[in-house]
Amino acid sequence: MYAPTALEKTVTIQTLRKMKAAGEKFITVALYDAPMAAMAQKTGVEAVLIGDSLGMTVLGYESTIPVTMEQMIYHVEAVARGNRKSLILGDMPFMTYATPEQALTNATRIMQAGAHMVKIEGGAWLAETVRMLTDRGIPVCAHLGLTPQSVHKLGGFRVQGRDEETAGEILDDAAALDEAGADLLVLECVPAALAKRITESVAMPTIGIGAGPHTDAQVLVINDILGLTEQPPKFSKNFLIEAGDIPGALSKYAADVKNGVFPDDAHTFN
C-alpha cells in the first residue's frame, strides 16, 4: 500500500513520463496559494495546477470565462513562492491563445510568473499553437472533454464523448495534440472507457478528472478535496471528512489514487 511522503526530488516532465511508462499513478491538485502549495508537496503531490477554476472557487464567478491574465499571474506567482518540488501548471485564460502568436506572448507571461508548463483547452485546431510553444521551449498541457471555457458552446457542464461520433472526435483530437508535441493531457468528464482508450494510445501522460481510474493521474480542485464546494460534482470527493485535517486530506487523496481506491464507480461516468 502506498503511503504519501514528502517529495524527495524536484518533479519534471521526464519524471511523469517515467511514471507513465512504469504504470505508476501521479497526483495532481488544483490550488491557488503559497501555503497550500507548500503543504501539497509535503504530502507527495507531484503536480499542482493553478487553474482558471479560481474564477469560480475563489473569485465567485459563475464560470471561468471572466478570469484575466493578471489574475492568473497573481496566483501563479503565489503558488510558485510556496512550491519547491512539485511541477507547476498554469492555465491560460479564455481567449488568450486564440492565435499561435497570441498564445506565445501570453504563455511567456505565465512561465515568467513561475509556471513550468501552460495549459490550454481545445482540440486539433490547437496543434499549430502547441508546435509553436513547444518548439520555443514552453511545455504544454492540453485539455479535452469538458472544456469549461467552452461551456456556452457545449450547453453547460456536461459529460462529453458518450456517443461514437463525439468519442471519435476526442480520440482524433488527442492524437493530433500528441503528435504536435503536447506534454500532458487533461481529460475532463468523459466516460472511463474512452479515457482508457486515449491513455493507451498517446505517448503523453493523461490526467483525469471525472474520467475514471485508467488515466495516468488524477486531479481534483482543493475546494472539493476539503469539502468547500456547495454543490460538489459527481467526480469529486470530500477527503477532509475521513482525514480530519488538511494535510491528512491531501495524503488520503494521494494514497487512494496511488492504491487504485479513487476514483471508484460512484465518481466515474460510464
- Report the catalytic residues: 188
Each as own residue / partner, the long-range contacts of residues 198-204 (CB below 8 Å, 24 or more positions apart, any chain) are 198/144, 198/170, 198/171, 198/174, 201/171, 201/174, 201/175, 202/174, 202/175, 202/178, 203/178, 204/142, 204/177, 204/178
At 86, the amino acid letter reads: S
Cell 479515457, residue located: 195
Quick one: which of 70, 69, 68, 90 has its CA closest to 79? 90
- Using a 10 angstrom Cβ sphere, with 0-12 exposed, 13-18 middle and 19 or more buried, the burial of residue 227 is middle
Residues in the chain: 270
Contact status, residue 96 vs residue 126, Cβ threshold 8 Å:
no
Q: Which three cell numbers stand for residue 195?
A: 479515457
